[in-house]
Structure 1
């Protein structure tokens, strides 16, 4: 039996060969080696992977397996947040369902690649794979792109008493099948599972058992869970990492309440690391009048209200470095049987991209301007193309130092970037009756839209 370890440039880093005997079909053979000064898998900065080649030779026959892997360290603290390889890293994340219009969860390689390309394009540094094991290709692409992954099993909502053995099996398979993916930093054990009465409920006991299994199978990674309840409770803080699904301004309260909740929680529980595992709002690109707004269960989810949610929420999250991760719910619109909300049935509209992947909503470009290192210049509210008032505000998302506005071929003004969330606002711009060509420029970038004053 022989193993070889190669770096990303295919240089041989380690090699060993020895004779082995197989006593029975369950025999496990292990090798150990040390890599001097290893190149760390370091997220988007350097997603370096090694390759292990293991071969077995017997009677002039050879069986060979190649497996990529990476080396990294992680830590999470209540004050510094997430730490990758001893350096703080903001996990600016999106959650993702493996679900396309007309395809459901049975995606092609091309569809998986497109999804991960969009996650990479927006500049996300982390991805929460909700709420089940995803395709191995998704993990491979995350490895290559340097996107840190929260992987999880489908232990979701209230406990019926029948989940135990299946949950343990799914967690075991999840870890054993994906152990070598360097992008995975945590194993998620549950999402919004409640124990209303006591800490002796079956859901609590199962979580404790799952936690033990995860650490037995993988001593290098942490466990996590996503709660929609309080900071402490019967289910909370059993896993190594705890995060919270918070929908201030959508299901309850105001968007601004997220900041108050975070500050009060951090003050009251200074030793508990805080994270937001879900936040967001519905947005229907075919609805562009914010006066018609009847969230969260009605028929009208205008896109600009979703955008407002993310502008306010991201500013709150961005300015609180103690938050170890945050995940937009959701990267893509996804099917939800039985829903009749927001003007399109059987659909959750909280995605930053439409269900068919043809349209990136305004909020997508907002995050891209804030997260991506690529130049971004985008006029918001493009689809609100028919206007009833002559005076309007032109909102722009851009990570450029200055943006110039043009109206019907005439230069109006240039603004410097002063917003810490990459928003330019050109106020009191007067439209003429009929067509109005709004154009913005920044260095070699430009964007344009036609707004008609009725």
Structure 2
């Protein structure tokens, strides 16, 4: 029992991204995010260790300086970058000599720097990397010296726009310092994959690279353990390895796992592969690799099959930014976003259009998401004036190799995407990139956002062109043996708390910047090929809504409504599934000034769900649910028929107004129930029942009175004093009965006392250009989000929320 507890403890420690392994045993990998120095500007002398940096700002990583700036129309990033600033900046980190470094290999790992980074150690240039989305490693060993050692990083994001969306600026992901023996496993030096998988047996193949940085040949032992999720060692192999001087050598081991615990979206079972390098019974290096055992089959006949069972990919595209924190996303914020997607019924995520942070993939492994892992937006031809296309020819192979080797152990990663809507590429270029990927990993299918059928792809990718009437059946008729996936399907546009009773099409009613010119002509050309959607009413019931806001009903579309997307994925076997555009609103690609985004998400910039979130949930999630829209506070609309839409995964729904039944309706393939209810204030109730008439779940909305106070909902009230943990505070403007006022826009103030700090405020309003790092924010549709992060001090964090003429609210968060 003692051995079992020790194994479990080791597994838990290795799962903790910030845990340091036991000192002087094998490798030590420590996080060095804290206490960096920052200067927004350029100074060529900042690379020198003797440079005077005592007046620079001290901060912790991850850090994004763009999100700290002001939204301005003339910022060079423009509508693509959400009108936020870019520029050049320097970071410096002082490392004091550690005796553990003597005669060791010491390297620094950056998980992501946007962009054009130059890294120096004590004035020596270690290297440059233009791509802002993939991590990289530098060897510090020969430059470290007793005393003070200075890491200096220049980040050049002066030329913008450098992307078609908000990119952020700076060292916006984690940084690590790893110390290991001169004979060691290099960065991304293990490759684990499963073969011949069944419920009774599976083969686990493990390839381990070992580097000998010594001038003499070495004889070592490679010991590899396979540990299950209970901490039990289920397989072990030890192999002698002869290493010539200065050589990196790969060794392959094969394990047979009896009765494997298979990884799936519902049971995300993980194994740890523990690799140890020893010499004369002395441990030189050790690496833990988290992985999973699963089998994937993809075909036009059966679709996507996971462990022998067909799985419809219920997916969403995501960008890497997260509202008020920009691209510097704390782990708690990222996990919170994924939890909301899981509750919605999402089982698949597309990383658009670049590699994500390493912790995202570990979370996907643990939570049971399958991932379309995307390497690039475009290739040799730039799509934004100063994007990666300018560097692609020189760097794509280096970056792609680092990307594939970094992520190929993750069971969540089920396919590679090599590009997105790539302009002016040739068939030969596509083949060249695909072949390169296959040399690194031949176990996964390869696709491309808007990948053309008849090319070299394993799966045809469909973006907006897959949303036209009959697009998918026409494709299948021409290519009956080629599976397809909706890489961006469908595009719809919604704003939380905003509703329209008449259908809206983007091109016709609110054209994007590239559609504005001649939009009526473009609409007439487009109209015959888009899905027709009937209006709820002849006259718009909600004419007060700003034209820049979408409707929270499924009637605010580009080409195809959500319900058609769900039907296609459900009914067409050759369509593996869809990745709706998008999961969350993201900064950039906006409608133009003053909009900072284009509200494609089913959750807004604050992470608050919009109405159609619940449409997806009713079709994708298993937990019983019912949801009705809109809210029931409509002053000035007495007697006007309000369209009431209900989503549910139950057999039928009865609607009541002030206790009087408005009828019961059976859920159909229309996926929504519609009542037209003459408005009167009071209580609207949706009662969902099963086929036997038993009440399963209810949803209630009430008319709000006068605003009198505030309500706070925290996702947790106890955190660690680790400078990382984050509390999400959902703040509502409420009446004296606690009912939220859906149109409230009061200015809210957040006051924090004690060991906590405010790292961001947001309300989800795409037209609100207020800064994110201040303690005030106007409510939008009655709500505000505040993010509070721990410091390194324990104690009570006292948060007081106030607004003029409203009763203040208080909450205590305990940091320990």
Classify the TM-score, shorter chain.
0.7 to 0.9
The answer to whether structure 1 residue 27 and structure 2 residue 248 are counterparts is yes
* Partner of residue 272, structure 1: 482
The answer to whether structure 1 residue 364 and structure 2 residue 630 are counterparts is no
The answer to whether structure 1 residue 284 and structure 2 residue 284 are counterparts is no
User: Distance in 2 between the 1:25 and 1:389 partners?
Assistant: 83
1:29 deviation in Å?
4.2
1:315 deviation in Å?
2.8
1:86 deviation in Å?
2.7
Alignment of 1:35-184 (within 5 A): 35-39=256-260, 41-58=262-279, 60-156=282-378, 159-160=381-382, 162=390, 163-184=392-413
- Conserved? CA contact 1:44–1:145, under 8 Å: yes
SS of residue in 2 equivalent to 1:347: coil
User: Distance in 2 between the 1:313 and 1:128 partners?
Assistant: 16
SS of residue in 1 equivalent to 2:646: strand
* Partner of residue 587, structure 2: 335
RMSD: 2.7
Query: How many residues get paired?
Result: 426
- Conserved? CA contact 1:189–1:211, under 8 Å: yes
- Per-residue CA deviations over 1:419-443 (Å, capped at 9, x if unaligned) read 1354233x343333xx132111233
* Partner of residue 438, structure 2: 215
- Conserved? CA contact 1:288–1:384, under 8 Å: no
* Partner of residue 315, structure 1: 567
SS of residue in 2 equivalent to 1:28: strand
* Partner of residue 682, structure 2: 436
- Of 660, 666, 670, the residue aligned with 1:416 is 666
The answer to whether structure 1 residue 7 and structure 2 residue 228 are counterparts is yes
The answer to whether structure 1 residue 398 and structure 2 residue 398 are counterparts is no
1:346 deviation in Å?
2.5
Moved more, 383-392 or 101-110: 383-392
User: Distance in 2 between the 1:420 and 1:184 partners?
Assistant: 32
The answer to whether structure 1 residue 227 and structure 2 residue 426 are counterparts is no
1:384 deviation in Å?
7.8
- Per-residue CA deviations over 1:14-35 (Å, capped at 9, x if unaligned) read 1122443332343224241232
Larger Rg: 2
User: Distance in 2 between the 1:351 and 1:129 partners?
Assistant: 14
- Conserved? CA contact 1:285–1:383, under 8 Å: no
User: Distance in 1 between the 2:631 and 2:566 partners?
Assistant: 21
User: Distance in 1 between the 2:703 and 2:446 partners?
Assistant: 50
SS of residue in 2 equivalent to 1:374: coil
SS of residue in 1 equivalent to 2:588: strand
1:402 deviation in Å?
2.6
* Partner of residue 295, structure 1: 510
User: Distance in 2 between the 1:247 and 1:282 partners?
Assistant: 17
TM-score (norm: length of structure 2) = 0.49
Structure 1 or 2: more helix by fraction: 1
- Per-residue CA deviations over 1:260-281 (Å, capped at 9, x if unaligned) read 1212222232222222111212
The answer to whether structure 1 residue 242 and structure 2 residue 460 are counterparts is yes
1:5 deviation in Å?
0.8
* Partner of residue 381, structure 1: 630
1:127 deviation in Å?
0.9
1:93 deviation in Å?
0.7
1:220 deviation in Å?
0.9
1:215 deviation in Å?
0.6
- Conserved? CA contact 1:100–1:355, under 8 Å: yes
- Of 442, 446, 452, the residue aligned with 2:698 is 446
- Conserved? CA contact 1:39–1:48, under 8 Å: no
- Conserved? CA contact 2:408–2:441, under 8 Å: yes
SS of residue in 1 equivalent to 2:682: strand
Structure 1 residues 388 and 320: alpha-carbon distance in aligned structure 2, compared to 1, 3 A threshold: farther
User: Distance in 2 between the 1:290 and 1:169 partners?
Assistant: 52
Moved more, 40-49 or 146-155: 40-49
Structure 1 residues 247 and 265: alpha-carbon distance in aligned structure 2, compared to 1, 3 A threshold: closer
Structure 1 residues 25 and 409: alpha-carbon distance in aligned structure 2, compared to 1, 3 A threshold: farther
Moved more, 6-15 or 216-225: 6-15
User: Distance in 1 between the 2:442 and 2:597 partners?
Assistant: 39
Structure 1 residues 369 and 62: alpha-carbon distance in aligned structure 2, compared to 1, 3 A threshold: same
SS of residue in 2 equivalent to 1:349: coil
SS of residue in 1 equivalent to 2:618: helix
- Per-residue CA deviations over 1:28-82 (Å, capped at 9, x if unaligned) read 2424123243525442232222111111223634432111111222222122211
